[in-house]
Amino acid sequence: MDEKTKKRIFVFIDTNLVYSKEMDYNIFRSNFLNQIIILRNFFSERIESTEILLILPYTVVRERYKQKYDLLYKEMDEIIKKLKLLQKKDFFKTDITIKELEKNQKNLEKKIERAGNDYLKSNSILITSDCPAEFFERIKNKAYTKEKPFDNKEIDGFKDALIWYSLINYLKTQNISKNDHIFLFTNNSRDFKSDNTLKEFKAIFGTDIKIISRESKNFQICASENQEFLQFTLQESKGIEILNIFIEYIEKIDKVKIEKIIANPFPTDLSPIIIPYQLNKENWKKEIEKRTIDLLKSLNFKVDTSKITFNYSLLPNIFEITVFLDFHEEGYFYDINSFEISFEDGDIQEIEIGSENYLILDDYIIDYQSPDFTFFSIEPRINIIIAEILENLIGREVDPDTLIYTILR
């Protein structure tokens, strides 16, 4: 198909949807971005008539680099101070570790930018240019009149204005047509959405921009608030036939909980958008099949119910998850080494972390009393982060209360 006749879907992404508190160089990697990359790749392989373009405003990129720099610099600084204190008290003689940390800290900004740029390039994510000076008069007037994105805000309002006008400036170079669709994903649509901003956008491009807000902590592309986005993007999927449907579930005392629904060949979990409520053990299969078929039809897939097979997998409930940590005595910090998941049916699953490094400072450990005491608790905020890491690894919901910790000696 001629590139000029393709329908384009421009997806701009605000900062919080690529935000991560992990102690590593994964600058942009997030649950949202992982899912939308999968969706973009699905279009590239299956739907020739439509192209999804993933775009980060320049301000978002700079803000993420600064956020990651501040986070890592502070943590490294605390480790260096602790090491120097231990060295002064003759706990160890060598200063090789301290010098290595200081060297990494000095080069931290370059390392962050290199890691971030490599990720964006390898995943074909575009960046707008910085907001041009020609828009600063408009930005100044919006600030004076407290018009969005400046209503009841100061610094954040200016940042959001830079994002808004770098988005507009980028689209001015793209020859936008009536067949194109433009979306802005943000953690709060109120930062951008108003009658004036929407009117301003339409006056420039002759089309609307859809501003979609993240409604939940664990953002899902296939979620109820994004159904309009999926219906727009999947308008050209009528020729794609659903072959089979895989449903993973767990059983509670009087009901069933759906963990995942994959409709092959669509690669993303559909369960968040189906909202599987009121599924008791008597009628749940018939009901979930109906809801899944109805959803797929609404998303324009080719659905022949006589040909589709449903495959059900009963997943055992998770009883307990042990997080194994490596303790670094010189630095008084921990790395996550592996996970051991114990299920209620007695099975055990082991997950090695591999080359990924997740650093936990000793300060986050609660009730750690002596080297002989290997089971301990961890600050709730870190506990939640580790549960989210594991959710991404196993594709299942993880209750932070099921996590326990032990140190490998």
pLDDT tens digit sequence for 74-110: 888 888 888 788 777 776 666 777 888 888 888 999 9
- Reading the block at residue 147, the tokens are 């018009």
Nearest to 222 by CA among 284, 298, 281: 298
Residue 128 DSSP class: P
Q: What is the pLDDT of residue 190?
A: 75
Q: What angle do CA 102, 106, 108 make, to 5 degrees?
A: 110
**124-145 mean pLDDT:** 88
- Mean pLDDT check: name the lowest of 155-169, 172-186, 214-228: 214-228
For residue 334, give the amino acid letter: Y
Sort strands 365-366 and 256-264 into parallel, antiparallel or unpaired: unpaired
- Mean pLDDT check: name the lowest of 62-76, 96-110, 366-380: 366-380
Q: What is the pLDDT of residue 329?
A: 67
Q: What is the pLDDT of residue 62?
A: 95
At residue 221, the 3 state secondary structure works out as: coil
Tell me the pLDDT tens digit for each residue of 245-270.
999 998 887 788 888 999 999 988 88
DSSP H or E stretch at residue 10? strand 7-13
User: 168-175 contacts: CB < 8 A, separation 24 or more?
Assistant: 168/135, 168/201, 168/204, 169/128, 169/129, 169/131, 169/132, 169/135, 170/55, 170/57, 170/128, 170/129, 171/10, 171/205, 172/204, 174/8, 174/10
Please, what is the average pLDDT of the chain? 84
pLDDT for 7 beyond 80: yes
pTM over 0.85: no
Sign of CA dihedral 9, 30, 395, 357: positive
CA 325 – CA 382 distance, rounded (Å) = 14
Tell me the pLDDT tens digit for each residue of 290-341.
999 998 988 889 999 999 999 999 999 999 999 888 877 665 678 888 899 9
CA 225 – CA 52 distance, rounded (Å) = 19
Q: What is the pLDDT of residue 257?
A: 86
Q: What is the pLDDT of residue 93?
A: 67
Strand order through the sheet with 209-213: 126-127, 50-56, 7-13, 181-186, 209-213
**389-396 mean pLDDT:** 83
Bridge partners, 341 (sequence order): 321, 349
Bridge partners, 247 (sequence order): 261, 312
276 by Cβ neighbours in 10 Å (0-12 / 13-18 / 19+) ranks as buried
